């Protein structure tokens, strides 16, 4: 199966975005992909080859076929169900992000602890009681979780999700969390981003 390098995986969404903009039936060269994504053409060809996808010499890559392959490789050829935990400002903003549904993700559940929020709708999805988050995820209501809870509850909620069998967590809460081996985790931390940015600017 796959064995893509982290560097390659991080570039695939960029390629995909460009390929989706290409007209149907169009062919796209490594040069065009490179130009638009800020990498070298050689790098593009290497990434494409790593997925086992083949282009046509003298012609380029079929845009639709390459897009399909990238989606398959990323695991978004079948739609993935995303649960957003926390319906405060952050969770509400994330639930309303454009382009997410278009890229294969369905927000199938949003959670909050606030009784006043529960039952309200955010982006077409009714807010559910956080108390049910573990049960719902175990039931398969969603299979990826986005954490948008206050910092102090982040680890607790993560633990509940892991116990319920969730294997992918994207943490936007302003707190580092730990997950066991085998659970995929990505952390987005405003504070870290600002510190890194500060060095360069």
Partner DNA sequence: TAGATTGTTAATCGATTAACAATC
Query: Both ends of the chain: CA-CA distance in Å?
Result: 41
Which H helix or E strand runs over 184? strand 184-187
- The site map against DNA for 50-89 (x = CB under 7 A) is ---xxxxxxxxx----------------------------
Confirm or reject binding of residue 89 to a copy of itself (CB under 8 A).
yes
Residue 64 as a binder of a copy of itself (CB under 8 A): the answer is: no
Q: How far is the CB of 16 from a copy of itself (least distance, A)?
A: 7
Q: How far is it, in rounded angstroms, from Cα 172 to Cα 9? A: 21
Shortest Å, Cβ 151 to a copy of itself = 6
Find the binder of DNA among 18, 26, 43, 189 (CB under 7 A). Answer: 43
CB 164 within 8 A of CB 141: no
Residue 187 β-bridge partners: 171
Q: Which of a copy of itself, DNA, none does 61 bind, CB closer than 5 to 8 A by kind?
A: DNA
Binding span for a copy of itself by CB under 8 A among 60-68, 97-105, 132-140, 154-162: 97-105
The footprint of a copy of itself on this chain (CB under 8 A) covers a number of residues equal to 56
- The answer to whether 62 and 30 have CB atoms below 8 angstroms apart is no
Instruction: Give the pairing type, strands 105-112 and 80-85.
Output: parallel
Alpha helices (H) in the chain, listed in sequence order:
6-21, 30-37, 41-50, 63-74, 89-95, 133-138, 151-163, 190-200
Whether residue 85 contacts residue 154, with contact meaning beta carbons closer than 8 Å, is answered with: no
| Interaction residues for DNA, span 9-38 (CB under 7 A) | 28-31
For a copy of itself, give the closer residue by CB, 26 or 103: 103
Specify whether the CB–CB gap between 107 and 95 falls below 8 A.
yes
Q: Which of 14, 26, 45, 80 binds DNA (CB under 7 A)?
A: 45
User: What residue ranges bind a copy of itself (CB under 8 A)?
Assistant: 2, 4, 9-10, 12-14, 16-17, 73-76, 80, 82, 88-90, 92-94, 96-100, 103-105, 144, 146, 148, 151, 167-170, 174, 176, 183-184, 186, 188-201
């Amino acid at each position: 199966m796959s064995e893509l390098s982290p560097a390659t995986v991080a570039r695939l969404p960029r390629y995909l975005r460009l390929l989706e903009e290409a007209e149907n039936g169009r062919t796209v060269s490594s040069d065009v992909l490179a130009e638009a994504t800020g990498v070298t053409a050689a790098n593009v060809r290497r990434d494409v080859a790593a997925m086992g996808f083949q282009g046509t010499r003298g012609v380029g890559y079929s845009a639709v076929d390459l897009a399909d392959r990238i989606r398959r490789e990323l695991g978004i050829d079948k739609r993935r169900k995303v649960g957003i935990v926390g319906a405060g400002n952050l969770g509400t903003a994330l639930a309303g992000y454009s382009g997410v549904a278009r890229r294969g993700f369905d927000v199938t559940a949003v959670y909050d602890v606030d009784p006043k929020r529960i039952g309200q709708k955010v982006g077409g999805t009714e807010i559910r009681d956080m108390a049910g988050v573990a049960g719902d995820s175990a039931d398969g209501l969603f299979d990826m979780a986005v954490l948008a809870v206050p910092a102090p509850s982040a680890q607790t909620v993560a633990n509940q999700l892991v116990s319920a069998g969730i294997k992918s967590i994207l943490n936007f809460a302003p707190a580092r969390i730990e997950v066991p081996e085998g659970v995929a985790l990505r952390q987005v931390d405003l504070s870290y981003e600002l510190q890194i940015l500060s060095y360069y600017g």
